[in-house]
Amino acid sequence: MHGASDERGETVVMRRWLPQALTRPVLVVTVMALAAGYGQFGAVAALGDVAKSFGHVVTSNNVIAQAGLSGAVLGLGLAVLRLASLGGLPLAALGDRLGRKKTLIAWTIIGLALTILAAVSPSYWWFVAIFALGRPFLSATAALSQVVVAELSKPSGRAMALAFVTAGYGLGAGINALTHSALRGVIGFRGLFLTTAIPLLVVMVIAKLFPEPARFDDEGALKPRFGSVGSNGLTRLLKVMVVLISVSAVSAPSSSFVYLYAENVVHLPKTIESGMVIAAALTGVIGLVVGRRAADHWGRRPAIAIGISGIAVAALLLYAGSKPSLVAGFLAGVLSLGFVAPGGTAFTNELFHTDVRASVAGWGIVASVIGGVIGLIGFGVVADQTGSFEIAALVTFVPVIPALIVLRLLPESLGVELEGTLGAEADNIGAAS
């Protein structure tokens, strides 16, 4: 592995217009995260079309009936997809044993390839089952991309690099949403999933252009047990998981039902929906920039607390029942998610040792799945029982309170060195191995 770039001219040119933290490996991993975001967000962006394709025509004015399928059925289907992400735990944990690079490349390619198969779904539950096949691989990709970027970055630039890779994932999701919005009624959900072939081809071309970040000891040292974080890290991991569960219980329904709600309930015009998605790209970047500064100046915990509070408030606004509130809530939610991302991803990576960091990322997937399932099913059931998305939002967005309480029990990690990684030991990491 080369510690310095053999292509100094290219590296110098890049750093004239990019911040020092955004080296070539970081950019490559960001593109892989973008591809994962594009593939993984397809089920959310196309949910309205899926419900109409496999649901039934109704004349009732009930907002739940207008969706095409009941809130419980939709929520259960989305919950199944979330549960499928549990497979991301063993896949991500393999990064601690087999290396980050090998697993990140393999899981990205396999996940995108399987996602394309959703285009042939003959029914709603077949759609759920087929899309679920690729979900664990893309979840592992998202988790490992953050680990890789954290380990390729020094403390001073880590939040910025993580903000960039998070923006990549969000950009992928946004491109998927924009593609769906622009082509709504033209290609349907099947055509949308076929477009996943484009990011798949891009990943296959650039995937190897980043180094293996972690330095494993080849002189007889035992590698960590599969998925283990050690007894010393268990208590800390449980606290982190409580925070992630609580936040996911709030964020999952706010993001997963938004396009169905906009198209089938509020009947947001296509032009406004497309404009909303485009504007979200700007608000997301603003959130990332401001969140990165907050995480680096105020600390990781204050930035996370502000961000998750904003997510809850934005979700309540989103489902308030009018077109303006939907747009405002959506943009505020994207801003809040962007704000929390740099500090949140840096925080979880800085709290644990290099030997178990990929396993921690895998357990983070589990926590997000548990919280997401709770939020999605709870939201769908309450919406069905009350006939109101507004009441469902109010009931299911309470879990942010325990997240704030448990967050105070974790130590601040600002300035922590990630020992045993390129980011801790090398100044020039611009070249691939």
Structure tokens at 225: 């047990």
| Mean pLDDT computed over 139-166 | 87
- 124-151 and 357-386 helices, crossing angle to 10°: 140
- The answer to whether the beta carbons of residues 127 and 80 sit under 8 Å apart is no
* DSSP secondary structure string for all residues of 147-213: HHHHHTS-HHHHHHHHHHHHHHHHHHHHHHHHHHHHTTTTTHHHHHHHTTHHHHHHHHHHTTSS---
Q: Is the pLDDT of residue 37 over 50?
A: yes
Provide the whole-model pTM.
0.71
Residue 132 has a pLDDT of 85
- The answer to whether the beta carbons of residues 239 and 406 sit under 8 Å apart is yes
Cite the beta strand spans of 175-312 per DSSP E: none
**Any idea how long the chain is?**
433
Eight-class DSSP state of 219? S
Q: Is the pLDDT of residue 394 over 50?
A: yes
- The answer to whether the beta carbons of residues 67 and 264 sit under 8 Å apart is yes
Q: Could you tell me if residue 129 is left (phi over 0), alpha (psi between -120 and 50 degrees) or otherwise beta?
A: alpha
Residue 294 has a pLDDT of 94
Q: Is the pLDDT of residue 16 over 90?
A: no
Place of tokens 């999933």: 193
Q: Could you tell me if residue 106 is left (phi over 0), alpha (psi between -120 and 50 degrees) or otherwise beta?
A: alpha
| Cα separation, 39 vs 176, whole angstroms | 8
Place of tokens 């998610």: 337
Domain coordinates in residue numbering, the chain: 8-215+231-413
Cβ-based neighbours of 406, under 8 Å, separated by 6 or more: 239, 242, 243, 246
Q: Which CATH number fits domain 8-215+231-413: 3.30.365.10, 1.20.1250.20, 1.10.1040.10, 3.30.360.30?
A: 1.20.1250.20
- The answer to whether the beta carbons of residues 311 and 196 sit under 8 Å apart is no
| Cα separation, 353 vs 151, whole angstroms | 11
Residue 220 has a pLDDT of 43
433 versus 191: the higher-pLDDT residue is: 191
Residue 112 has a pLDDT of 93
The 10s digit of each residue's pLDDT in 215-240 is 544 444 445 555 567 667 888 999 99
How would residue 10 be classed by pLDDT, with cut points 50, 70 and 90?
Answer: very low
Q: Is the pLDDT of residue 203 over 90?
A: yes
254 versus 182: the higher-pLDDT residue is: 254
| Cα separation, 433 vs 422, whole angstroms | 12
Structure tokens at 15: 């750093």
The 10s digit of each residue's pLDDT in 114-150 is 888 888 888 878 888 888 888 899 999 999 999 998 8
Q: Is the pLDDT of residue 25 over 80?
A: yes
Residue 72 has a pLDDT of 66
